[in-house]
Structure 1
Amino acid sequence: MFRHTPLRLTTLGLMAAGSLIYAIIAGFFGLEILAEIAILAILVIALDLVAGFGGMVSLCHGALMGVGAYAFTVAANEAGMTALPAMVLAIALSAAIAFAIGAVCARSIGIYFIMATLAFGQMGYSFVFQSSLFGGDDGLSGAPRLDLSALGIDLTDSRTFAFYAIALVALAYLVAALTLRSGLGRSLVGLHHNEKRLRALGLTVWRAKATAFAISGAIAGLAGCLAAQHTQYISPGLMSWTVSGEALVVVILGGLGTLVGPILGAILFVVLKHEISSITPYWHAIVGLILIAVVMSRANGVFGFIEARIAARTRTRTRKPTLKEADADA
């Protein structure tokens, strides 16, 4: 079952404090990077919820994020809705589509589940790419930002938007954590470890998986809404399988099934991408080598490695000395 250890709470606190301080002191370029990190962090929280805790490794979460982005933009521009109702509609639509995908793929496991979600993602990408309603390969522009002027908040300001993005990351994390602490979350973890046992106990497996996938899809839809508001332009590339693959890399890099680790992975990935790309255009290769090193170390990502090392040291300190060691000390 998911729980907040002192290390996880400390890491969350440090990341939150660091993000807020950076949002205060950063220039325009730094604020853009912070918003990019926030979008990726929300997406990987959504993916870790089903992949890390439910064993449902998905390659359609980029498409679900794209659903949120396109639904938000179309609802605001074509249907004339204001930004907040458009966000609610977009998140609900992402959740509904994710529920359908989860229900269809519920009986699949392993590579078959991955390929099925990949197929759904590519179907969504092809549909948007060829649809004139969604601008085809030209995409759509003019996505609005929330109007919070009644509260004295101007989201057209980059610094204010960065704080808004951080708040949405916190909201996504809270939803994921509460889900994992609920009965559904415990069932999801149980299905990952022994699906046959929970089926024998009377759990409706497909419904539990589909519901968890729907909540994950809603969080991915939130990431899409934030992405659309950030750049105020969206394109079919947002729904490509490579976006889902990148999110999966970040989850593995940070720490699969920790919920905290993927956020750390998003920070490391975006920072490494911008720092290394300023030196060489082959930054993908360097990030790939780092990922290989993480996987070959048999650690559960960067955060998992730190967590395991601290746990090992704690066990060493609290271990009772053997009779031989006690005699030697005497």
Structure 2
Amino acid sequence: MFRHTPLRYAALVLLIGAALTQTFTAGYFGLEILIEILILGMLVLALDLVAGSGGMVSLCHGALMGVGAYAFVTLNVLVGLDPWLSTLAAVAVTAGIAWVIGAICARSHGIYFIMATLAFGQMGYSYIFESPLFGGDDGMGGIDRFDLTAIGLDLNDSKIFALFCLAVLIAVYLFAAAILKSGLGRSLIGVMHNEKRMKALGQNTWRVKADVFGLSGIIAGIAGVLAAQHILFISPGMLAWTVSGEALVVVILGGLGTLVGPLVGAAFFVLLKHQVSEVTSHWHLVVGVVLIAVVMSRANGIFGWIEARYGAWIDRRLTDSTRTETPEEILTDA
């Protein structure tokens, strides 16, 4: 069962603190990097929900994010629908498509599940790439950010937009954690560990997988809407399988099934990419070496390694510091 440990709480506080510090101290380029991390954090939370806690390694979550972006822009720019209604509709469309994909792929496992989700993602990419309605390979522009001037916020200000994305990421994290702590989340973890036993207990396992896949689609759709708001332009490249591949790399780097780990991985991945790209354009080689090192170390990513090494010690120290002595212990000490 998923639970928050003192170490996970501490990591979340540090991540939020670092994001706030970056927001108020960084220049324009630093804020753009921060926003990139925050949006990637939403995508990897969606992926960790199904891959880390459900064993469903998906290579279509990048495409789901792209679906959210395209649905939002189509409804808002082409149809002229209100931005907030466009957002709700785009997230609902993404969740619906994700549920269908999850339902179809639920009875497959391992490499077959991976290839099935990859096929769905590539179908979406090919359709968008060749569709004149969605701008084809030229993409779509004309996007405006949400108008929050009524409450004194100008999202065209990078600092305000970064704070807005941080608030959404916190809400998304709480949503994902609530799913994993719910009965549906516990059923999903049970299905991952022993699907046959869960079937014997009367669980409709394919429905559990499909429902969680659909819920992860909500998060991916939100990430897509914010990605469109960030860049103010979308293209078929958002749906390419490489986006899903990078998200999977980030989840593995951070720590599968921890929720906190993928956020650590997102920050590490984006910062490493920008730092190394200043020296060489072959930054993927460096990321590949780091990924190989993480996998070969048999640790569950960066955060998983920290948790395995220091988690029990921190929990024990915190428990000892907050525990109230019993009367018998007080008399013994005396």
- State the TM-score, normalizing by the size of structure 2: 0.93
Gaps of 5+ in 2: 320-334
SS in 1 for 2:73: helix
Give the corresponding residue for 1:322: none
The count of corresponding residues between Structure 1 and Structure 2 is 318
Moved over 4 A (4+): 312-318
Query: Partners of 2:174 and 2:316 in 1: how far apart?
Result: 33
Distance 2:164 2:29 in 1: 17
Equivalence for 1:279: 279
Distance across 2 between alignment mates of 1:160 and 1:172:
18
- Give the alignment's Cα RMSD to 1 decimal: 1.4
CA separation in 2, counterparts of 1:69 and 1:25? 30
In the TM superposition, 1:1-330 aligns within 5 A as 1-311=1-311, 313=313
Separation (CA, whole Å) in 1 of partners of 2:28 and 2:76 = 27
1:312 offset after TM fit, Å? 5.8
Deviations 1:97-133 (A, max 9, x none): 0000000001000000000000000000000000011
Shift of 1:311: 3.8
- 140-149 vs 285-294, which moves further: 140-149
* TM-score (ref. length: structure 1): 0.94
Tell me how far 1:168 sits from its aligned partner: 1.2
**Cα displacement string for residues 152-176 of structure 1 (whole angstroms, at most 9, x for unaligned residues):** 1110111100101111111110110
Work out the CA distance in 2 between the residues paired with 1:121 and 1:178.
27
C-alpha offsets along residues 6-63 of structure 1, whole Å, 9 cap, x if unaligned? 0000000010011011101110000100110011000000000000000000000000
Cα deviation per residue 1:271-296 (whole Å; 9 max; x = unaligned)? Answer: 00000000111110011101111111
Aligned equivalents of 1:315 and 1:27: distance in 2? 38
SS in 2 for 1:122: helix
Distance 2:24 2:198 in 1: 49
**Residues 57 and 114 in structure 1, CA contact (< 8 A), matched pair in contact too:** yes
In the alignment, structure 1 segments of 5+ residues that lack a partner are: 319-330
- Contact residue 76 and residue 144 of structure 1 kept, 8 A: no
- Counterpart of 1:257, as a letter, is G
How far apart in 1 are the matches of 2:313 and 2:221? 40
Distance 2:133 2:26 in 1: 38
Secondary structure of the corresponding residue to residue 53 of structure 1: coil
Corresponding residue SS for 1:233: coil
- Contact 2:7–2:314 at 8 Å: present in 1 too? no
CA contact (8 A) 2:72 2:86 kept: yes
SS in 1 for 2:268: helix
The one-letter amino acid of 1:15's match is: L
Contact 1:141 1:233 in 2 (8 A): yes
- Alpha-carbon distance in structure 2 between the residues aligned to 1:255 and 1:165: 22
Q: Show CA shifts across 1:205-233 (max 9, x none).
A: 11111000000011001100000000000
Question: 1:53-100 CA distances to partner (integer Å, 9 max, x unpaired)?
Answer: 000000000000000000000110011112111111110000000000
Residue identity opposite 1:140 in structure 2: M
Q: Equivalents in 1 of 2:102, 2:18: separation in Å?
A: 36
The amino acid across from 2:131 in the alignment is S
CA apart distance, 1:144: 2.0
Distance 1:312 1:183, change over 3 A: closer
